[in-house]
């Protein structure tokens, strides 16, 4: 994983500054919702986290375009411009299920919510009563969001219960198999003891 120290090391290893031409590059930053697989798996629905991305273009070369999630090296290379861009961000990075990922919301409805600075299912479900009283359409959107989250939560709980049931079933089957093995071993030992007793009795005659 890249760190700021890697940038410093590059500068030490290259006294001529390999990034000297960066000031001439066209650079654009933006926040992009990127899915977090672990959080999505845990929640049972798509969970995205706003992640800063950078687009880098070389003037005069239309084919030389680089677009990717920002690395620590990028943040150091374009530090001044990146920090200036961060100052223009009025909202904190969001985390949640993008409304565009929810099948029950039409594109028009997603855009209406976006106009109200509502981007995720969680944000919509948390809209206050004071706001929805002013907009009955927003009230309906909020109820749909809450219902969706409620169904998702019940599905998650059902999956959890199913997983617990399967774990108990597997444990029971393992114990049953172990008990069967123990019973077979006891039966085998009993047969051996009986055989030894019979042999001893025959020898004693």
Same domain, residue pair 116 and 179? yes
Burial (CB < 10 A; 0-12, 13-18, 19+), residue 10, is middle
* Rg of the chain, C-alpha, whole Å: 32
> Does the structure show a pLDDT above 90 at 69?
yes
d(CA 45, CA 48): 10
Which one has a higher pLDDT value, 87 or 70? Answer: 70
For the chain, what is the domain count? 2
Residues 100-107: what's their mean pLDDT? 89
Percent of the chain with pLDDT over 70: 79
Residue 135 predicted with pLDDT over 70 = yes
Plot region of 120 (φ>0 → left; ψ -120 to 50 → alpha; else → beta): beta
11 plus 86 within the same structural domain: yes
Q: 79, 96, 113 — which closes off a domain?
A: 96
The pLDDT tens digits of the residues spanning 11-46 come to 555 555 566 677 778 889 998 889 999 988 888 888
Is the Cβ–Cβ distance between 89 and 30 less than 8 Å? no
The pLDDT assigned to 77 comes to 87
Judgement on whether residues 154 and 102 belong to the same structural domain of the protein: yes
More confident residue, 153 or 16: 153
- Stretch among 3-12, 13-22, 94-103, 131-140 having the lowest mean pLDDT: 3-12
CB–CB of 35/46 below 8 Å?
yes
pLDDT (mean) for 152-177: 67
Angle between the N-to-C axes of helices 136-204 and 107-115, in degrees from 0 to 180, rounded to the nearest 10: 110
- Partners of 27 in the beta sheet? 56
User: pTM for this one?
Assistant: 0.51
**What is the domain extent for residue 24?**
1-96
Whether residues 103 and 35 share a domain: the answer is no
Tell whether 166 and 118 lie within a shared domain.
yes
Residues 124 and 191 in one domain: yes
pLDDT, residue 68, reads 93
- 80 and 101 belong to one structural domain: no
Last residue of a domain, one of 74, 96, 118: 96
Q: Any alpha helices (H) in the chain, and if so which ranges?
A: 4-13, 37-43, 72-77, 79-87, 107-115, 121-125, 129-134, 136-204
Q: Select from 48, 71, 96 the last residue of a domain.
A: 96
Residue 30 — φ and ψ, nearest 5°? -160, 155
Query: What string of H, E and C letters represents the secondary structure of 17-73?
Result: CCCHHHHHCEEEEEEEEEECHHHHHHHCCCCEEEEEEEEEEECCEEEEEEEEECCHH
């Amino acid at each position: 994983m890249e760190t700021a120290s890697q940038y410093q090391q590059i500068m030490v290893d290259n006294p001529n500054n390999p990034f000297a031409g960066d000031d001439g590059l066209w650079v654009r930053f933006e926040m992009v919702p990127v899915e977090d697989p672990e959080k999505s798996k845990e929640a049972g629905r798509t969970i995205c986290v706003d992640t800063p991305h950078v687009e880098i273009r070389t003037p005069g070369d239309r084919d030389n375009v680089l677009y990717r999630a920002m690395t620590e090296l990028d943040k150091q290379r374009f530090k001044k411009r990146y920090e200036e861009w961060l100052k223009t961000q009025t909202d904190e990075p969001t985390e949640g299920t993008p409304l565009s990922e929810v099948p029950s919301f039409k594109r028009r409805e997603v855009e209406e919510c976006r106009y109200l600075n509502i981007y995720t299912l969680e944000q919509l479900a948390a809209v206050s009563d004071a706001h929805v009283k002013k907009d009955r359409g927003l009230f309906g959107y909020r109820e749909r969001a809450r219902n969706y989250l409620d169904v998702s939560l019940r599905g998650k709980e059902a999956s959890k219960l199913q997983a617990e049931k399967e774990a108990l079933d597997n444990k029971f089957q393992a114990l049953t198999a172990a008990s069967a093995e123990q019973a077979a071993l006891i039966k085998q030992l009993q047969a051996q003891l009986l055989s030894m007793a019979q042999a001893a009795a025959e020898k004693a005659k």
